[in-house]
Amino acid sequence: MQMALDEALFRHAGESGDAVARFYGWDQPATTFGYFTPAGEVPASGAIRRYTGGGKVEHGEDLTFLLAIPAGAEAAHSSSEERYYWIHSALAEALCQSGFPAELETKTLTTTPGPCFQNPVTWDLLAPDSRRKIGGGAQRRTRRGVIHQGSLRLPAHFRDLHAGWIDLFLQGLSENPSPFPDRERTRALRTAGELEVSRYGSQDWNGQR
């Protein structure tokens, strides 16, 4: 359902022309993997194929987020690397202002097979002391715009959905962020329910590419 709701909000962004952000947590462990993963490399049963690319991500104690950027937005026309830097530098800045001095991976690194958090790439988020990867994301561009799905492994109080750094992050991306309209929320949930059954709960979607 989480993956279905992300796609539903991406569809909304493409239709409305408004960018959408969503943050969410998990009440149990889950695994997602990238849209372009070949069928022969699909993880064990129960893993769900994302709408975005990238590798395997193990969820549970992470804070996950969606950014849905409509085709008409300036950020949708940037290169994937420029957009990745823009998003992650805003994340690092917001966390630093809130007392968690996250850093960015500045070395030129490329994506390699395997679990996402074992393989940092350029502009991923790093822990301040250990320099372990604590934040990454995957993107996909379509005619609707760009969808970015990110995962953050932060200390517990920074994973709170009401943590102040989240507002700082959104203000770093938009001059005037505003709540998602209630009237559109019902529509998005209805679309997500349909996608959960027809796509993300389907073996055709999860097992074949």
Domain boundaries, the chain: 2-204
pLDDT for the residue 115: 67
Structure tokens at 32: 């997602």
pTM (2 decimals)?
A: 0.94
pLDDT truncated to tens, each residue of the chain (209 aa)? Answer: 999 999 999 999 999 999 999 999 999 999 999 999 998 888 877 899 999 999 999 999 999 999 999 999 999 999 999 999 999 999 999 999 999 999 999 987 666 555 667 778 899 999 988 889 999 999 999 999 999 999 999 999 999 999 999 999 999 999 889 999 999 999 999 999 999 999 999 999 998 76
Please report, to the nearest 10 degrees, the dihedral formed by the alpha carbons of residues 150, 155, 156, 158 taken in order. Answer: -60
pLDDT for the residue 10: 98
pLDDT for the residue 114: 59
* Region 2-204: CATH code: 3.30.930.10
Structure tokens at 82: 């420029």
Q: Are 31 and 75 in contact (CB under 8 A)?
A: no
User: Alpha carbon of 187 to those of 82, 178, 203: distances in Å?
Assistant: 32, 18, 25
- In 93-181, where do the E strands start and end? 103-104, 125-126, 133-142, 145-152
Structure tokens at 3: 């993956």
